[in-house]
Amino acid sequence: MKAAIYNGIKNVEIKELPDIQCGDNNVVIKNLYAGICGSDVGAYNHGGDAVFIFPGLEFGHEMVSEVVEVGKNVKDIQVGQRVFPIPSHIKKDMLRASTAGGFSEYVEIEDFELGKSAVLVPENVSDKVAALIEPFLIGVNAISPFKVEKGKKAVVYGAGPIGLTAAIALKYLGCEVVICDVINSRLEIAKGFGLHTCNTIEENYVEKCQAAIGGSMTVFGQPAIDADFYVDAAGNQAVMDLFFQGAKFGAECSSIAVHHRPVTLNLVPVTYNGLKVVGPVGSYHTNLPLTLEIFSSEQFDLEKMITHEYSHDQLIEALEQATRADEALKVVIKY
């Protein structure tokens, strides 16, 4: 079988590996589509240690797959069924989640348990769209600290795949949402999902958000945005500064982005304006029901998130394209 091996910065090879011999308690899957994650791009361009992608390993983890072989002791899955394999359970090691084999033709799932190792893909969801399930789970995780209900309002920083999926999930649950970025092509895609948008460089951030979802005041008498929830899916100092600048009393910010540099927080608004900065509290399994519900609903044309598609032997070209954030949103590999 062909498998992509990560060897270091700008060093990925498609290698021929021995065919998998399915264990009695295991299942072998054939990948149909795989998405390129920001962690894959980061490893390719800057090194993979920080995201647990180490030299010499297969990598990739956003995939939709077809079952092609079932071990004799496995009773709850059949050959031919489509599954979303849960990255942290494929190798039975959370540290192997990023090196689960999404960029390999075939993968063996050890000690297979339906619902734990993988879940069935809803029949009305295409293979291509199903490749978005994993990043969507992360977007849903971003909103897990919030008590989301219809009529609430939210601001999301970052219109990449994670920010966009968080914004779609908030909208699905009844929130009015503004999504912020500095890349207009991504904001145009966001508009297609019925989201308000703000380019924080070209537009007045507070005024644009107030016009979209309403205004309020801070306890200091400064203009505020009438948003209950904020999601940081951008991961830089600027977005945290924006949050503290425009948040109303009691607003909450969930940080799902990986911050590669420390940020400075002004804790005065936290004390006097009742603000909260929290981390996500969900997991793959707790986020699956809402994620699959959104996919099955067909309320959103999720395929619009996929801007580029490549074949398996074009993986390096695909990684290069995924690096160009002004051109690409989600890049996928079709097997």
- Residue 136, number of CB atoms within 10 A of its CB: 28
Is the pLDDT at 225 greater than 90, yes or no? yes
CA–CA separation, 322 and 255 (whole Å) = 23
Q: What pLDDT does 216 receive? A: 86
Q: Specify whether domain 2-131+301-334 bears CATH 3.75.10.10.
A: no
From 116-125, 150-159, 274-283, 293-302, the region with the lowest mean pLDDT: 274-283
Q: Is residue 323 within 8 Å of 308, Cβ to Cβ?
A: no
pLDDT mean across residues, the chain: 96
C-beta separation of 214 from 178 below 8 A: no
248: helix, strand or coil? coil
For 6, counting Cβ atoms within 10 Å of its Cβ (0-12 exposed, 13-18 middle, 19+ buried), the class is: buried
pLDDT computed for residue 237 by the predictor: 95
> Whole-angstrom Cα distance, residue 21 to residue 28?
8
Tokens of 162: 């994670």
pLDDT at 221 over 90: no
> Could you report the per-residue pLDDT of 45-86, keeping only the tens digit for each?
999 998 999 999 999 999 999 999 999 999 999 999 999 999
Res 71: pLDDT: 98
pLDDT value of residue 258? 83
Measured torsion, CA atoms of residues 258, 263, 269, 271, in degrees rounded to the nearest 10? 90
pLDDT of 37: 96
| CA dihedral of residues 141, 143, 149, 155 (deg, nearest 10) | -150
Question: pLDDT per residue over 160-214, tens digit each?
Answer: 999 999 999 999 999 999 999 999 999 999 999 999 999 999 999 999 999 999 9
Q: What is the pLDDT of residue 39?
A: 94
The confidence score (pLDDT) of residue 94 equals: 87
Kindly tell me if the per-residue pLDDT of 218 is higher than 90: no
Rounded to an integer, what distance in angstroms lies between the CA atom of residue 118 and that of residue 61?
12
DSSP state for residue 90 in the 8-state scheme = H
CATH class of 137-278: alpha beta
Q: Which of 178, 142, 179 is nearest to 158 (CA)?
A: 179
pTM score, whole prediction: 0.95
pLDDT band of 289, cuts 50, 70, 90? very high
Q: List all residues 6 or more positions away from 204 whose beta carbon is below 8 Å from its beta carbon.
A: none
pLDDT tens-digit map of 126-142: 999 999 999 999 999 99
| pLDDT for res 142 | 97
- Whose tokens are 């978005």? That residue is 132
Q: Is pLDDT of 261 > 90?
A: no
Confidence of residue 260 (pLDDT cuts 50, 70, 90): confident
Is 134 in contact with 89 (CB distance < 8 Å)? no
What are the DSSP E strand ranges found in 114-204? 118-120, 153-157, 176-181, 196-199
CATH 3.40.50.720-classified regions of the chain: 137-278
Which residues are paired to 263 by β-bridges? Answer: none
Domain with CATH 3.90.180.10 in the chain: 2-131+301-334
pLDDT for res 113: 96
Mean pLDDT of 221-230: 95
